[in-house]
Every structure is written in structure tokens, then in C-alpha cells.
Amino acid sequence: MSQTLQLFSAGAFVPTEAEAQRLTLANDADPREADLTGITAIELQFPKFSDGRAFSQAFLLHRRLGFTGEIRATGDVLIDQLVQMQRSGFTQAVLRADQNLAHGQALLAHYPAFYQGDAVHTAPHFAPA
């Protein structure tokens, strides 16, 4: 079973971590160069839905750097992107204001597991535990 991506509406979202514990990375920044000391949440930006560089950043943070805090998608976040976000290592998504939160949750529930591995669950579904 995949980790559940937490969804928030843009207008209602309030970060729970202190500002000093949050790092916002531009989508062209290399996360490997960021100082993650004391950081509990990283915001990755989608300036437009067709710009997917934040997916690569999330993968690097989660898999290569072993970041275990919140990886949050912000900006032009559509429900169409949620399954890939969850599989890339995002833990939270702040949906664009015109996106329906209930539809996003239903979409994630529709795909509870995948046969191939991903950034979160590296072993294929059919591999012995």
C-alpha cells in the first residue's frame, strides 16, 4: 500500500512548521546543494502544471538524500498530478484554488498500489518482502 499524500486547498492551507524549519526551493534549484539542517518541510514549486522539474527534486530529496520530513507541492498543482507526486516522494500537495479536494482524494484512492517500484516503495509489488 502506498503512502497517502495529504491534500490541502490553496485558500485554506496554513503550514504547521515554524518558518525557520521550512525551505522553499525554486524549481530550477538543485536540492543536493541545499542545507537541510533543521529543516522539517520543503516546499517545491510548480510555476505551471506543465513544468515537472519539482518531480525530480522530490525524488532526489526522498531517495538520494534520505529526507524524511514533509515534501510539499505548491503552485499550479492539479489533481491530474497527484498520483505521480505520491510516487515521486511528495507527502503533501496544496491544490490550486479551482481544484476539487474530494476529487483529488478519490483519484488517490482509485490507485492504492502499483506493480513497479517507485521513489517511495522501491521493490516491485510482486517481490517477496
Per residue in 71-95, pLDDT tens?
A: 999 999 999 999 899 989 999 999 9
Rounded to the nearest angstrom, the gap between the alpha carbon of residue 76 and the centroid of all alpha carbons in its chain is: 13
Q: DSSP readout, 37-61?
A: TT--EEEEEESSTT--HHHHHHHII
- Rg (the chain; Cα; Å): 14
On the question of pLDDT at 57 being above 80, the answer is yes
The DSSP code for 115 is S
Three cell numbers at 40?
Answer: 522539517
The pTM for the full model equals 0.85
Distance (Å, whole) CA 126 – CA 80: 26
